[in-house]
Structure 1
């Protein structure tokens, strides 16, 4: 497989554009002491992301009506319990993946 120079430049450009908003803020913020109110506000971001992902996956639109996908709710409940109990993102993600895989395998 040969790669064209323009394709290589596009891939490198996409990598640079991705790195700038994702990596640079972490490098800059590492040396700055944030006020407590900002740290508290930032602590809510994972909860917001988790809520957005959950709501998007278990609410279904059927002919202009909203309904709940109960198989997804069956996977969300143990995942939420583990998240509250361990407060570990990696453990929560692993449990969530295993719960959703189990639900999809069984139903």
Structure 2
């Protein structure tokens, strides 16, 4: 099998572009002592990102705010959210959301 140099260089370039933003901040931040307020702020980033992703999926339909178009998703999100709060299990939460969505689509 022949490997073209352009493809090989493209793969190596993509690897470098993916590697640098992940390793460079890690190398720089491991040498510094971050203030406590920055650490507290960074702990909230994953929750904020997840909330933004969920809000977009649950509340928008074709770029417009619409609860009625997404009612089944909202109904499935309620028990999934309750299970997430009770168990703190990502797998359990995802399984609950999928199962409840499947049941609601079957019923309605």
Decide: shared fold, TM above 0.5: yes
1:9 is aligned to 9
* TM-score (norm. length: structure 1): 0.73
Q: Is the 8 A contact 2:80 2:97 kept in 1?
A: no
Distance, in Å, in 1 between the alignment partners of 2:25 and 2:61 is 37
> Contact 1:75–1:96 at 8 Å: present in 2 too?
no
> Within 5 A, what are the aligned runs for 1:54-93?
54-61=54-61, 66-68=65-67, 69-85=70-86, 91-92=89-90
Partner Cα separation in structure 2 for residue 97 and residue 3 of structure 1: 41
1:15-65 per-position Cα deviation (integer Å, ceiling 9, x unaligned): 111111123212332332210110111111011101111011112336x85
Contact 1:76 1:96 in 2 (8 A): no
Q: Deviations over 1:50-83 (max 9, x none)?
A: 1111011112336x85212122223333443344
Instruction: Provide the C-alpha distance between the structure 2 equivalents of 1:31 and 1:58, rounded to a whole number of angstroms.
Output: 41
Structure 1's unaligned 5+ residue stretches are none
The total of aligned residue pairs comes to 102
**Unpaired runs of 5+ in structure 2?**
none
Q: Which residue pairs with 2:96 in the alignment?
A: 99
Q: What's the RMSD between the two structures over aligned residues? A: 2.5
